[in-house]
Structure 1
Amino acid sequence: MSDAFTTRVLNITTGSAERVADLTRDCEAFLREVARGRDGLLNLFVPHATAGIAIIETGAGSDDDLLAALHTILPADDRWQHRHGSPGHGRDHVLPAFVPPHATLPVVDGGLELGTWQSVCLVDTNRDNADRKVRLTFLAGS
């Protein structure tokens, strides 16, 4: 296999509460190993119907603000047609329409090209599934 394309799966445990999990350090560690100073693209993909990837500021309350906004837009109540799981779980299946299950980011000189306050985050509102996978894929430029 060519080293122009490298992929790896992260196993993330999000717990029994809604969570925004910062994956920035995991992404940077992966790129240190595989990008080796090259330019390219990092793609993240969550193969779950109830989680997504967001690029946001963390640690200053924005992660909690995102979860609060999602509660306003997607309340955890009985309005949802999709009704298996815990009460309100149907909203978790609508989440990926608002927080997509993927992101593609530029890699310059082997590092993520993020803004000063940007972080790469897994957004998981599904309290019924604490075990998540995130596929990281680096595609080197020519």
Structure 2
Amino acid sequence: MRSELITVRTGSRPTVRDITAEAEQFVAGSGDGLLHVFVPHATAGVAIIETGAGSDDDLLTALDAVLPTDGRWRHRHGSPGHGRDHVLPAFVAPYATLPVLDGRLALGTWQSICLVDTNGDNPTRQVRFSFLSG
């Protein structure tokens, strides 16, 4: 298995950051296999969604509706409502596994690999790409 850790700047507000290009670069020329994308953080996730047509903003709006940034959370360190960031990975898993065929990601036409980060307290994140040859 081949593995690499990259650093992604997410900034100080909730964001959906497309990391497809970085993943494509990692698997380029690798043949057939599986790409595993993992975010080693307690407050971020990985989503396979369409970007650029509003879906990324819609995802953040939906997460705000389900996980509001108010005082209901028992986990209370950090910014107000930060407890919701620790619940996020139960809704947006911190990993995804994708097929790679002939060194290319086998994504659908409108699919992108996105890092979902609602925690503005940490402006940079790490993402681990691991390729398992098939």
User: What's the TM-score, normalizing by structure 1?
Assistant: 0.93
Q: Which residue of 1 aligns with 2:113?
A: 120
User: Mapping of 1:125-140 within 5 angstroms?
Assistant: 125-140=118-133
Number of residues paired by the alignment? 134
Work out the CA distance in 1 between the residues paired with 2:42 and 2:13.
17
Which residue type is aligned with residue 126 of structure 1?
Answer: N
CA shift at 1:131, angstroms?
Answer: 1.3
Partner of 1:18: 14
**Residue aligned with 1:68, SS:** helix
Q: TM-score, normalised by structure 2?
A: 0.99
Counterpart residue number, 1:85? 78
Distance in structure 2 (CA, Å) of the matches to 1:45 and 1:27:
11
Inter-partner Cα distance in structure 2 for 1:118 and 1:131: 24
- TM-aligned CA deviation for residue 17 of structure 1: 1.0
> SS of 2:41's equivalent?
coil
Larger Rg: 1
Cα RMSD after superposing both structures: 0.6
| Of 92, 98, 113, the match for 1:99 | 92
Long gaps (5+) in structure 1: none
Could you tell me which residue of structure 1 aligns to residue 54 of structure 2? 61
Paired amino acid for 2:32 = D
- 3-state secondary structure, aligned to 1:16: coil
Q: Counterpart in 1 of 2:41?
A: 48
The SS at the match of 1:26 is helix
1:29 aligned onto 2:25: yes
The correspondence for 2:2, drawn from 1, 6, 9, is 6
Deviation at 1:19, TM superposition (A): 0.5
Q: CA deviation at 1:126?
A: 0.1
Structure 2 unaligned regions, length at least 5: none
**Runs of 4+ more than 3 Å apart:** none
Q: How far apart are 1:125 and its partner, in Å?
A: 0.1
Partner Cα distance (2:92, 2:130) in 1: 19
Identity of aligned residues (%): 66
Secondary structure class of the residue paired with 2:128: strand
The residue type paired with residue 84 of structure 2 is: R
